[in-house]
Structure 1
């Protein structure tokens, strides 16, 4: 009985940590589309909770793509674009979608001008079909077929979301994740880079957050629960104390690592310190 209970508690601790870590690193490859479409290549885009899936056919430089935004709302529009002229939304060849006030879904192509206008219009390359799907779980996906040119097989990609005003797309935010939602994409090789990921400080921030969440959000509370509720069972014997000590010690060690990462981030960011006027 004692061994069984100990094993159960240890398994629960491990499961909680695994669930937390896996939820922060969900892969686009595990997603199943409602139309059962299968894509050979995909990438989780690091900003705005988006992913891009595609099949590329080199014989005619055609690509079938699916741009998915999780947590999409009826008050926002989404867009994905290619821009050989630079890593920015202005001047890009974009696919845009949103939900109209009557509940219907609308997807179209647009060449974004220097003012950021995204009115419907044809692109510099053919898009034989474009559709949009909205799942009950809040995922909005743009499906499209692109007949690429040689300059677009490997180029800059941009993705965005923004608010609707009067039923039409309006200006998106220029800071935060919106300001970092750019990178490069090679349809042929599957190579993808992102301006957001390339920043080492962003990776350190993510590590700092995960370490602290695991320490103070999982291990420490589990250790407290073990000491509070498990020790009342006589059949457990001293096992509750060892489990409690393991969780608390591990939580402390992980927390120290998170603290050290935070201190390193602070020392690497002198511009964040207050200065005298």
Structure 2
């Protein structure tokens, strides 16, 4: 029986580790492309529901990339750019995409001057080839191959989205997330930062959400169940097993509430991005855990007297 308990403990520990690892992964890692293109590196950009995927070839200093922006529509334009002069649109070397009045996706390059940007087609300071764009459902994707110099392999990046006025991109919002869509990128190492060096808070919250729920539903609550199942048969463990069981279940529920809260915050910060199976499983677990704790709060005094 003790061997069974050890086996169960190892099993639940493995499940918890896999659970935590799964939700620590980036959202971009679960994205796919219809052309079956595979990118070795990707990053979740911190605002505007945007993601960057790329392959870097050190022998030629080329970067094959895909910029994806979700929760958009055919009436919006999207853009991604490198800007060695600073974390701003002015001076950036930009890739732009929109859908014209005939319904055809248009992708092109444009350098952004210091004046009022017009997003008119133009050549960049580096060579760009194979540029194209797709609009599938509510997400834009820009594809391109960049021939970069050494000083552009680690530099500033900017991304934007805005409304269309016929076949002409209009000015984007100048506040909120549109003012925070800047950061740095190193194509060689895959490292990125947001907003001039601050870490990606959304990624931290996602990792926290995964760890909290792994500890709660994957470790503490199963451990409490195993204590009740395997220790209560030993007379010497009575009533200690019961208090250990309650402690694991109660602490697991408290940690689970914290994980639930971070999940709600992540959902509110990512409109349009939904994982229905994960959400439904989370709702079911939280409801069952709440029911158990509610019942325990009513019957705990009587159980203490009985034990």
The TM-score, its normalising length taken from structure 2, stands at 0.59
Q: CA deviation at 1:64?
A: 0.5
User: Which residue pairs with 1:100 in the alignment?
Assistant: 100
User: Which residue pairs with 2:117 in the alignment?
Assistant: 116
RMSD: 3.8
Equivalent residues in 2 for 1:1-277 (5 A)?
27-114=27-114, 115-136=116-137, 138-195=138-195, 198=198, 250=253, 254=257
CA–CA separation in structure 2 for the residues paired with 1:132 and 1:186:
23
CA–CA separation in structure 2 for the residues paired with 1:256 and 1:34:
34
Instruction: Tell me, yes or no, if the aligned pair for 2:48 and 2:178 is still in contact at 8 Å.
Output: yes
Instruction: Tell me, yes or no, if the aligned pair for 1:197 and 1:203 is still in contact at 8 Å.
Output: no
Quick one: structure 1 residues 196 and 139, their matched pair in 2 at CA, closer, same or farther if it must change by over 3 Å? Answer: farther
Unaligned runs of at least 5 residues, structure 2: 1-18, 214-248, 266-307
Q: CA deviation at 1:191?
A: 1.1
Instruction: Tell me, yes or no, if the aligned pair for 1:182 and 1:195 is still in contact at 8 Å.
Output: yes
Structure with the largest fraction of helix: 2
Instruction: Tell me, yes or no, if the aligned pair for 1:91 and 1:112 is still in contact at 8 Å.
Output: yes
Quick one: structure 1 residues 36 and 203, their matched pair in 2 at CA, closer, same or farther if it must change by over 3 Å? Answer: closer
CA–CA separation in structure 2 for the residues paired with 1:45 and 1:204:
9
User: Which residue pairs with 1:225 in the alignment?
Assistant: none
Q: Secondary structure at the match of 2:120?
A: coil
Extract structure 1 runs of 4+ deviating beyond 4 A: 202-207, 255-259
CA–CA separation in structure 2 for the residues paired with 1:94 and 1:161:
12
The TM-score, its normalising length taken from structure 1, stands at 0.65
Q: CA deviation at 1:60?
A: 1.4
CA–CA separation in structure 2 for the residues paired with 1:139 and 1:83:
24
Instruction: Tell me, yes or no, if the aligned pair for 1:160 and 1:172 is still in contact at 8 Å.
Output: yes
Instruction: Tell me, yes or no, if the aligned pair for 2:156 and 2:182 is still in contact at 8 Å.
Output: yes
Q: Secondary structure at the match of 1:113?
A: coil
* Count, aligned residues: 213
Larger radius of gyration: 2
Q: CA deviation at 1:253?
A: 7.8
Q: Per-residue displacement from partner, 1:47-88 (whole Å, max 9, x unpaired)?
A: 111110011111111110000111220111000000000011
Q: Secondary structure at the match of 2:131?
A: strand
Unaligned runs of at least 5 residues, structure 1: 1-17, 215-245, 263-277
Instruction: Tell me, yes or no, if the aligned pair for 2:43 and 2:51 is still in contact at 8 Å.
Output: yes
CA–CA separation in structure 1 for the residues paired with 2:198 and 2:55:
25
Q: CA deviation at 1:167?
A: 2.3
Q: CA deviation at 1:116?
A: 2.5
